[in-house]
Amino acid sequence: MLKQGVMEVLPKVRGVYKINEPLCRHTWFAVGGPAEVMFVPCDEADLGAFLQGCPAEVPLFVIGGGSNLLVRDGGIDGVVIKLEAPAFKKIELNGNILTCGAGLRNVELQKFLVKNGIGGLEFLSTIPGTIGGSVRTNAGCYGKEVKDVLKAARVVNRKGELSEVSADELHLTYRNSSFPEDWIITALDFEIQEEEPEKVLETLNHQKMQREVSQPHNVKTAGSTFKNPEGKKAWALIKQAGCAELAVGGAKVSERHANFLVNADGACARDIENLGEEIVRRVYENSGIKLEWEVKRVGKP
């Protein structure tokens, strides 16, 4: 529940504050408690002014498309920031550099790539979520990762200061990054190459077909649950540990891909997390390998 003092200490903004906003509306798992306050800024200047005026003791968390996120049932204290205003969804082409707002959904990127004959980013446009979230986790598939195409990013720090940093300064590694937690990405520059629109569409359709064959779709899931250990496949370890048909409450392991957990029947966040932890336990007992969560878990139990 909202503490009365939180809204009283937040600065005036041009954007929108939402009190006790249910985060189940903002995640692909469709679970999770409320954000004490959600802030939707109008643009970079509004975000910067909010950060300058927000007391340091107020916790902040940035949410993207919610595709790689498990919000616990107790919700998130403080302010959850969501960059969903039009100013954060812009996309501009300048030579061989494509600039995308952090709030741009990857599915919208697909349309732009085909229309403008742009290659090299097809893999990124098929990953669920937003462009900003893809960078935080160095998302990748089909042999490419964000770090292979990223040139620079615009970021705002906790003091509200805007700067541009190179891709190297983001320290992107396998499904991870180590740049400061208080950096909020607002826009990204990608290096692209010209390609025939028909070829781009062909690549996108091929990748879509592969996903539909091998991964669950049209279900409540957050994507790959665990990182692949070096030289191993998480899904194979999960199957070998006898977890392919495991379920806890309304959560279960996907029948199509063992590294995907699914909210199949009114699961709560606790069901999903407990299922994941049971998989970690069983895989460790069976193989001696401890799986590491790829899905980000946040909030109070």
Active site residues: 175, 224, 294
11 SS3 class? coil
Structure tokens given for 214:
């091998």
List C-alpha distances in Å: 48 to 35, 44, 131, 153, 292.
20, 6, 20, 16, 34
- According to DSSP, residue 183 is labeled -
Structure tokens given for 283:
């895989």
Structure tokens given for 241:
């540990």
**Spatial separation of the C-alpha atoms in residues 50 and 40, rounded to whole Å:** 10
In terms of DSSP bridges, do strands 69-71 and 118-119 run parallel, antiparallel, or are they unpaired?
unpaired
CA distance between the termini of the chain = 14
CA pseudo-torsion sign 108, 61, 281, 231: positive
Give which of 110, 138, 297, 163 is closest to 222, Cα–Cα: 297
In terms of DSSP bridges, do strands 296-298 and 69-71 run parallel, antiparallel, or are they unpaired?
parallel
**C-beta of residue 65 within 8 angstroms of C-beta of residue 108:** no
**Spatial separation of the C-alpha atoms in residues 50 and 9, rounded to whole Å:** 11
